[in-house]
Amino acid sequence: MIDARKAAMAAQEYLKSVYPETQFQNLQLEEVELTDDQKFWLITFSFISPGAMVFVHPIPKDYKLFKIRADNGEVISMKIRQVK
């Protein structure tokens, strides 16, 4: 089983590989959770929305939720995470 750090690194690498032309401003790890059955890591990253005006408050952020297999670190899914 991979640990939380490796799951977060797998999610970050996947995000950057899917969007190779995007410079993610202020990429932050927000949440890390192991599912109750311990089969998956749920990893949430946030970053400043591309094209956002940073002088607007609050600064618009995008959130991505990743589902990572706990046994081998394979990225299963990446979703938009809505935060209210």
41-75 per-position pLDDT tens digit: 999 999 987 776 667 777 788 999 999 999 999 99
Share of the chain above pLDDT 70, in %: 94
Q: What is the mean pLDDT of residues 20-28?
A: 87
CA–CA separation, 53 and 30 (whole Å): 22
Across the chain, mean pLDDT equals: 91
Radius of gyration of the chain (CA): 13
CATH T-level assignment (fold) for domain 4-80: Nuclear Transport Factor 2; Chain: A, (3.10.450)
Q: Report the pLDDT value the prediction gives residue 54, as an integer from 0 to 100.
A: 67
For residues 28 and 15, is the Cβ–Cβ distance under 8 A? Answer: no
Contacts of 15 (CB under 8 A, 6+ apart): 24, 27, 45, 64, 66, 78
